[in-house]
Structure 1
């Protein structure tokens, strides 16, 4: 895995300030500490930080091809060997054995259509110095990040926002994105908390010509297309494509390990990877609080699979010590507590291997979240006449919060399009109205999902929820924390479930084959049932359990109270009385406000690092002292 930053100047614009450029490049040193590379000409400046995984000796970047094309690339192309062989037949020659050179040669051969042939995770930019065009692309699932900023004078792009922030002061806080963050616990793509920085959408490419505005275009749109194949055929195809994907994802010139939790997804990855490396190391994180640790189960799984397991127990003291560093690396607030164990287990794994496999994406592709079974439980009320559902819906509004049956009535009588936005729904519009000093009623959360529901209009209810999650939750939360928390420790994280070939099979599975036998991911379970232990196969999904609820009432209470009281966001962004009430209600156990509090606290810490004026110079100096020394 790697990191890059680039600047494309329009005509007659002064070159980038050297100090700012060095700071921008240094700020992503963690993404690639093995080597630093630069390329510049009259129009473009490219900087690169390399984590050496493939072709360690020769795969340096920026890589130039035929003296015309110059590429920076973050990710891995898993079919690069096959692509290289086909290009050689067309007369192309190669100076390295890297997948980077294959991408740029493929672009020289096919132009924009090259992205259709790539199987892997990627974000890259190719500068054509003859045509004076920058071509950039991001993989279909958004595994790898690509940020950009544009003005009349310059176009800046990078693997992380922090690099762009070093190169321009134009990054005002977006009130619209803040409102969405408070609902979703992340900022939905393509937006950022800055009004001027954008994310290139997954499955999109970008074209930027000198003196013209950048344009983006979709090259891979993920849609479900259920087929009526025989059940056994679907199971067989699923198993075969997973075996092939893991085999491709094991390609590396350095050791590969795997994360292992108590669930079916990571256990499947480990079981399949072991076929290619019998000495596979696995890594697990947990907490000292009962019910919040997967270590014992993961250790038992590792014993059954005959692989080594290395685990890490996380204390609240360690967590507090690392929190600001975690959020600095996150780049933008993502209030998912699961980022915490991911950060610590990535740190542990990085002392043993440079690459890990992980199970992200299985839930979105194969129907793994428990909420996907909701349409089955709501069937009785959904079949009622519309007039009766409307009456029951009004009745649910007057029932007290927490009263048994209130949620069921609301969910059963409210259209999915009006209530489902993904796995997290933190603050309602009425709550944000009370909490924010500048609430804007014309920026409701449904504007993010409205077009997606239109695209999924023909799907069943479960597939609609999957579709929403695949286009919002997956790239906005799951893959952001996976990339940032692993890259914080210069560890490459690979996700074999999020493979084009795997998706082609998963996209054809009908709802009744995913949500069946009282469980989720039924096809996946059937496909791997001979590989993994029974106690994992039938285990309910837990995710990464994190004791935020307990910590905020005990070990983290003083920290939370101080963070709130000392935050400059009170009175300027948030109404103090609303925030302090959330904390006191939680501590006195009147309500469980842990997720709401965590969303606010994460933002406050992020704001103090990236937005407060007095922090800017301190932040730059910390980056320079910690990661700038290598330049000299």
Structure 2
């Protein structure tokens, strides 16, 4: 069983009885699962694509919230839109706080605990709640020199009294691990790879101290943390949040899972707790973006747990906060000519690479896994869609 660690709805599992079996995946896709069929009709499955590539090239991602009984797919538990609550805001923030605290409490392991801390609202929230329940914890941050994440993470670590570990890296360090990251990530999606570089390093750092870590992924999707969401009409915002939450399985959740697994870590994602997700989807969008402030209701729910500077910090993209920014893009622009990009950017299925950075990642991906003609199993980050020519 591959799971979030404690919660029964964060898993991919197989149940076998005699010659019959059931294969299931959780509704958010916190646990990865892929499947394929070999020429003689044998059904195969794995939590990583690389395992299946040894026996077949016909691979698909197992659908979220479904069970396969050996003959057909059966819908079991799917993410559903929630009825919007109509209660005072103080009750909303109070219940949200209790659900987050409960989500942390039931995942607490025996032994040392760590959290990947960026100094942003989401990871700081989880770190503060853990510290309030167990006392001393380990916090881990990785970034380039001068990165905003490093400074904000230090502020949070001092505030909650954690044992803080940080690693300052260079572009050379990032380029050195790029092939490792793409191999474990199983993707050439430029933005996903970019954000995975420091995530991979923080996983490696934390594995030296703790066997279990917490991550703050999911908060931006549930509580409207992205800048572009502010331009969406309120009547359409709830639907957009629902849709990007459904896409977490092959973006942020994939990054977290692969980086942790590469270093033997168990990672917990509290914002993916089923009760937290369902309640967040029921909160009116007017309390998610209020007077131009993103994640307003989450800030209110944890206002007494965090320093004011962190509570007021605006959303920064994962790779920007760590200082990675457009360094990879600039590097690729220097290394790959316009002619080479024009010749190589169209892949099988007429999938179009959108930048030289993505071509650089694809070349490494191809060296790792060979020529692949079908990418149905691989997601793409919103903002660099699969284009057709």
The normalised TM-score by structure 1 is 0.54
Q: Could you say if the C-alpha distance between residues 505 and 167 of structure 1 is closer, same or farther in structure 2, counting changes exceeding 3 Å?
A: same
User: Which residue in the other structure is 2:274 paired with?
Assistant: 500
Is 1:355–1:491's contact at 8 Å kept on the other side of the alignment?
yes
Cα distance in 1 for residues equivalent to 2:251 and 2:327? 23
Partner of 2:330: 553
Task: Tell me the equivalent position of 2:379.
Answer: none
CA change 1:506–1:327 in 2 (3 A) is same
Q: Which residue of 2 aligns with 1:122?
A: 11
Identify the match of residue 366 of structure 2 among 607, 613, 628.
Answer: 607
Correspondence list, 1:80-91, <5 A: none
Match among 90, 104, 113 for residue 246 of structure 1? 104
Q: 2:203 aligns with which of 346, 364, 370?
A: 346
Q: What pairs with 1:301-316 in structure 2 (closer than 5 Å)?
A: 301-316=156-171
**Are 1:329 and 1:488, in contact at CA under 8 Å, matched by a contact in 2?**
yes
Check 1:219–1:552 CA distance in 2 against 1; reply closer, same or farther (3 A cut). closer
Which residue number in structure 2 is paired with residue 174 of structure 1? none
Residues 322 and 550 (structure 1 numbering): CA distance in 2 closer, same or farther, change over 3 Å? closer
1:335 CA drift (Å): 2.0
Structure 2 counterpart of 1:164: 52
CA distance in 1: counterparts of 2:35 and 2:111, whole angstroms: 31
Deviation track 1:382-413 (CA, whole Å, cap 9, x = no partner) reads xxxxxxxxxxxxxxxxxxxxxxxxxxxxxxxx
Provide the residue aligned with 1:207 in structure 2. 69
Task: Name the structure 2 match of 1:317.
Answer: 172
Residues 345 and 359, structure 2, Cα contact 8 Å, conserved in 1: no
CA contact (8 A) 2:25 2:33 kept: yes
Cα distance change of structure 1 residues 370 and 262 upon mapping to structure 2, 3 Å threshold: same
Equivalent residue, structure 2, for 1:74: 2
Cα distance in structure 2, aligned partners of 1:598 and 1:126 = 42
Secondary structure, in 3 states, of the residue corresponding to 1:460?
helix
Q: Which of structures 1 and 2 has the bigger CA Rg?
A: 1
| Structure 2 residue matching 1:144: 3-state secondary structure | coil
SS at match of 1:302: helix
Q: 1:37-436 to 2 correspondence within 5 Å?
A: 73-76=1-4, 78=6, 118-119=8-9, 121-129=10-18, 132-151=19-38, 152-168=40-56, 171=57, 196-208=58-70, 213-250=71-108, 252-288=109-145, 290=146, 292-336=147-191, 337-375=194-232
Deviation digits for residues 218-246 of structure 1 (CA, Å, limit 9, x no counterpart): 42233132121111111111011111001
For 2:55 and 2:63, locate their aligned partners in 1 and report how far apart those are by CA, in whole Å: 22
Match of 1:543 in 2: 317
Partner of 1:101: none
Gaps of at least 5 residues in structure 2 are: 373-389
| Aligned partner of residue 328 in structure 1, secondary structure | helix
Question: Contact between 1:139 and 1:204, CA under 8 Å: does it hold in 2?
Answer: yes
Displacement after TM superposition at 1:568 (Å): 12
- CA deviations on 1:85-129 (whole Å, 9 max, x unpaired) are xxxxxxxxxxxxxxxxxxxxxxxxxxxxxxxxx34x211111111
Distance 1:263 1:603 in 2: 30
Q: What is the Cα deviation at residue 506 of structure 1?
A: 0.9
Report if the CA contact (8 A) 1:334-1:602 is conserved. Answer: yes
The yes-or-no answer on 1:512 pairing with 2:367 is: no
Q: How does the TM-score come out when normalised to structure 2?
A: 0.86
Q: Count how many residue pairs are aligned between Structure 1 and Structure 2.
A: 363
Secondary structure class of the residue paired with 2:11: strand
Q: Report whether the alignment pairs 1:481 with 2:255.
A: yes
Aligned mates of 1:274, 1:571 — CA distance in 2 = 48
Is the alpha carbon distance of 1:242 and 1:548 closer, same or farther for their aligned partners in structure 2, counting shifts above 3 Å? closer
Q: Deviations over 1:154-205 (max 9, x none)?
A: 000001011111123xx1xxxxxxxxxxxxxxxxxxxxxxxx2111122222
Deviation, 1:375, is 3.1
Task: State whether residues 114 and 213 of structure 2, in contact with CA within 8 Å, keep that contact through their aligned partners in structure 1.
Answer: yes
Provide the C-alpha distance between the structure 2 equivalents of 1:466 and 1:278, rounded to a whole number of angstroms: 34
Q: Which has the higher contact order (CA 8 A, sep 6+)?
A: 2
Aligned equivalents of 1:343 and 1:466: distance in 2? Answer: 27
Q: Secondary structure at the match of 1:357?
A: strand
Maintained 8 Å contact 2:5/2:268:
no
Structure 1 gaps of 5+ residues are 1-72, 80-117, 172-195, 377-458, 580-594, 614-632
Q: 1:549 to 1:332 in 2, by over 3 A?
A: closer
Evaluate the alpha carbon distance shift between residue 237 and residue 279 of structure 1 in structure 2; reply closer, same or farther with a 3 A threshold. same
> Secondary structure at the residue paired with 1:497?
helix
